[in-house]
Structure 1
């Protein structure tokens, strides 16, 4: 089962998950280029665009939620060009 389908199965049983969480997780999955790679290189700008998230504060809240709920591990780089890494758990 692919990661998005697995997430959707788990999210359907998790009352904490909102549509915004699903949107951001799907955006992360869309950015995964290499199937063999563990980490997914992401930037806030791309994730917000792909996830249709308009507010930076919402992005940060949802990203923190996904990590707190155990769906991802987020490793920020604080570098605007290098991007951060996200690991799907």
Structure 2
């Protein structure tokens, strides 16, 4: 993904992350997943395996169903992309 495209996506995804809960590395992993799923949803080229791996990493970082639901909802509100449904459809293919 080009730097320009990545910057545009990050600009659009202003999620209210709890910076005291996560390390810098974990926050980067969360945003990496958000960038990949956004690119995928907008028709960009994303390898299925890369997106699935990023999703599993995202879930591991959040490590809580309540966090996952909260972040998925915030992401959907900002982007219109439903993480769970998108990943479920992708994993079925």
Name the structure with the higher strand share: 1
Name the structure with the higher helix share: 2
- TM-score, normalised by the number of residues in structure 2: 0.45
- TM-score, normalised by the number of residues in structure 1: 0.47
